[in-house]
Amino acid sequence: MKRRALLAVLAGGALVAASPLARADSLTPQERSRLASGDVIRRHVDFDTADGPYFGGISYGVIDASPAEVMRALLDVNTYRSILPLTLEAREVGRKGDNSLVFFRQGGRLGTASYTLLVRRESPSLLRFWLDPAFPHEIEDCWGYFRVQPFGAQKTLLTYAAVLRLELGFVRMFFSEKIRSFAMDTPLRVQWHFGTKLSGR
């Protein structure tokens, strides 16, 4: 378990710090202009590991609230049903050291999947999460992060990154792209939560 948690943290750290797709300073002037108008920037991330393929992405959105206000919302499990797409249930079920254990049930009319994430606030601006395999889980693996950064006066650039590994089967074959699309809308839903959604799909 410790090895898996360490790998998740290291992998998440690489996504935060090393990948050019993840760095907010990689945003072009045109993308920053789109963000300022309320649009959400979405980028796909796919890679293979010895355990199997992961899919997911990174998305950016500007929230009409301070970074501290946005982080408070991200730390409140009661907001997860509104800000995380396809979330039917989310509740804190315990702690492991500095990490919160949060149970999720997500899905739609074709089925649901349940699992438990470890959630850790690593700094005032960074919240990381990853699957805890010690609990029953109907997905193979998941990890990612939220990052909040100032974007002008009393606004926040929210970065959301998540990758997922599913068993080979019907859901992975036919619904991976739909799952990715919903997940990358997370900044859009945070905009809605703060009542500031201006544009987008």
Which pLDDT does position 50 carry in this prediction? Answer: 85
Count: domains in the chain: 1
Residue at 200 is within a domain? no
Residue at 199 is within a domain? no
Residue at 201 is within a domain? no
The structure's pTM equals: 0.84
Which pLDDT does position 167 carry in this prediction? Answer: 75
CATH number of the CATH domain containing 183 = 3.30.530.20
Q: What is the pLDDT of residues 87-139, one digit of tens each?
A: 999 999 999 999 999 999 998 776 788 999 999 999 999 999 999 999 999 88
Structural domain of residue 21, as residue ranges? 2-193
Residue at 143 is within a domain? yes
Residue at 79 is within a domain? yes
Which pLDDT does position 168 carry in this prediction? Answer: 62
SS3 string of the chain?
Answer: CHHHHHHHHHHHHHHHHCCCCCCHHHCCHHHHHHHHCCCCEEEEEEEEECCEEEEEEEEEEEECCCHHHHHHHHHCHHHHHHHCCCEEEEEEEEEECCEEEEEEEEEECCEEEEEEEEEEEEECCEEEEEECCCCCCCCCEEEEEEEEEECCCCCEEEEEEEEEECCCCHHHHHHHHHHHHHHCCHHHHHHHHCCCCCCCC
Which pLDDT does position 169 carry in this prediction? Answer: 52
Residue at 126 is within a domain? yes
Residue at 111 is within a domain? yes
Which pLDDT does position 122 carry in this prediction? Answer: 93
Which pLDDT does position 14 carry in this prediction? Answer: 44
Q: Which residues of the chain, if any, have pLDDT below 70?
A: 1-25, 110, 168-175, 196-201
Residue at 198 is within a domain? no
